[in-house]
């Protein structure tokens, strides 16, 4: 049975065909960090408890309750980062147990539950930081995937990622909420330039630092043989999408996929914590692969998200973005929108030659890059202000 991408009011009955997920998760401290500030979580929403992967992989037959997958990358120093990411996992699962029940079966109810669970986790983490000065500035990214029927719905805050591997290709289901993503979309940088920029750790949202977040929500219909990969930027920053596809393509053992990806990141220096969740899907509840089938980032329209098409979203006041940096993460004040120049905000027509730009850059791109220089100047000022504010707080201001 297929769950429509729209807000259907019907879900699979217990007698319908099922989706089978073979799942494994692995987290590694990397080669430079002393503490692991990442968290992963996988749960069958009927049982309501996280799965234990110390005993091996799990094979789950999903029912009408669905499945939950999460990767979170904590920030704010070891103790605060570990706590923030751990809280994100436990709070989202706790909220889903209370909010979501197949007694009110609809895709709209499921996606609303995912949205509200994430926003609620943000509020609780933010409140904890306000009440405990030693954790002031704590935060975490969160990539949360909920499986219902043959659809996966992904909630995104920050720059951890979700990929789908299908027919030998890996495509990103999420968009990084980062300065680099904004500049790529504005045509100011190529994806290749963004990957090596020294500003790639600047993110625009996280759970915890601010009282309110606006989540991104996407969806994807699964096909038989699809592989879902959730990971922190300790992996995605070092291992390219095509390498993720190669590791997952035709490899039935999800443990091997996880280990291959983590080992690859560590071989390239392992400067950050590395976390990955891999789920391979099968079962007669999924349709077979369709040639040239579209998959990737598909916005799901839902009120209260970045894809809310029912009203015009207000433009928040300009504020410094959150900054993830090594070895000690620091925070400014994250904001969903970073002001850009008028030139950068203009829509651009993609060039067929743009993906191939590695060494040289077209003159038009150079002009746009010069236009965005005021952003970089502003970020330098923001960084100085953020550091001064942090020092003042540490000195008991």
- Residues 209-229 pLDDT 10s: 999 999 999 999 999 999 999
5 bridge partner residues:
none
- Residue ranges of alpha helices (H) inside the chain are 78-99, 107-131, 179-185, 191-196, 233-236, 241-248, 254-267, 342-345, 363-371, 373-394
The per-residue pLDDT for 254 is 98
Q: How many helices (H) and strands (E) does the chain have?
A: 10, 14
Cα 384 from Cα 320, distance rounded (Å) = 11
Least confident among 62-71, 102-111, 235-244, 372-381: 372-381
C-alpha distances out from residue 174 to 145, 164, 208, 230, Å: 10, 10, 20, 10
Split at pLDDT 50, 70, 90, the class of 310 is low
Q: Which residue is it, tokens 């433009």?
A: 315
The overall average pLDDT reported for the chain is 82
Using a pLDDT cut of 90, give the percent of the chain over it: 61
Cα 297 from Cα 220, distance rounded (Å) = 8
Q: For residues 123 and 330, which has the higher predicted lDDT (pLDDT)?
A: 123
Q: What residue spans define the domains of the chain?
A: 8-397
pLDDT in tens, 126-171: 999 999 999 998 999 999 999 999 999 999 999 999 999 999 999 9
Residue 181 near residue 96 (C-beta atoms within 8 A): no
The per-residue pLDDT for 271 is 95
Q: Is the pLDDT of residue 194 over 50?
A: yes
The per-residue pLDDT for 67 is 97
pLDDT in tens, 72-109: 999 987 789 999 999 999 999 999 999 998 777 799 99
Helices 78-99 and 107-131, interaxial angle, to 10°? 140
CATH number for 8-397: choose from 3.40.630.30, 3.60.40.10, 3.30.70.360, 3.90.180.10. 3.60.40.10
Split at pLDDT 50, 70, 90, the class of 7 is very low
pTM of the shown model: 0.77
Cα 174 from Cα 217, distance rounded (Å) = 8
Q: State the average pLDDT over residues 265-269.
A: 98
Q: Is the pLDDT of residue 336 over 50?
A: no
Split at pLDDT 50, 70, 90, the class of 377 is low
């Amino acid at each position: 049975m297929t769950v429509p991408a729209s807000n259907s009011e019907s879900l699979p009955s217990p007698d319908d065909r099922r989706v089978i997920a073979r799942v494994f998760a692995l987290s590694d401290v990397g080669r430079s960090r002393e503490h692991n500030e990442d968290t992963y979580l996988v749960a069958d929403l009927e049982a309501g408890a996280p799965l234990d992967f110390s005993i091996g992989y799990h094979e789950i037959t999903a029912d009408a309750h669905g499945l939950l997958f999460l990767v979170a990358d904590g920030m704010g120093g070891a103790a605060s980062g570990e706590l923030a990411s751990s809280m994100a996992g436990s709070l989202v699962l706790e909220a889903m147990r209370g909010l979501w029940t197949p007694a009110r079966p609809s895709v709209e109810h499921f996606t609303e539950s995912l949205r509200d669970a994430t926003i609620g986790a943000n509020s609780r983490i933010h409140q904890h930081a306000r009440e405990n000065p030693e954790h002031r500035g704590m935060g975490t990214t969160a990539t949360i995937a909920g499986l219902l029927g043959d659809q996966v719905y992904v909630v995104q805050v920050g720059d951890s990622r979700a990929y789908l591997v299908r027919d030998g290709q890996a495509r990103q289901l999420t968009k990084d909420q980062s300065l680099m993503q904004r500049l790529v979309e504005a045509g100011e940088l190529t994806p290749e330039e963004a990957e090596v920029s020294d500003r790639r750790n600047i993110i625009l949202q996280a759970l915890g630092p601010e009282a309110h977040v606006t989540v991104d929500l996407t969806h994807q219909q699964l096909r038989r043989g699809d592989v879902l990969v959730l990971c922190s930027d300790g992996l995605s920053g070092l291992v390219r999408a095509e390498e993720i596809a190669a590791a997952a393509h035709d490899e039935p053992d999800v443990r091997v996929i996880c280990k291959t990806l983590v080992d690859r990141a560590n071989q390239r220096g392992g400067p950050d914590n590395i976390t990955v969740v891999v789920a391979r899907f099968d079962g007669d509840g999924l349709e077979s692969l369709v040639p040239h089938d579209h998959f990737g980032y598909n916005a799901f329209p839902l009120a209260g998200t970045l894809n809310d098409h029912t009203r015009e979203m207000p433009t928040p006041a300009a504020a410094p973005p959150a900054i993830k940096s090594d070895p000690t993460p620091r925070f400014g004040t994250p904001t969903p929108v970073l002001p850009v120049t008028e030139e950068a905000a203009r829509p651009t027509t993609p060039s067929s030659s743009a993906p191939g730009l590695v060494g040289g850059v077209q003159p038009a791109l150079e002009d746009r890059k010069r236009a965005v220089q005021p952003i970089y100047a502003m970020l330098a000022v923001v960084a100085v202000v953020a550091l001064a504010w942090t020092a003042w707080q540490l000195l008991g201001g």
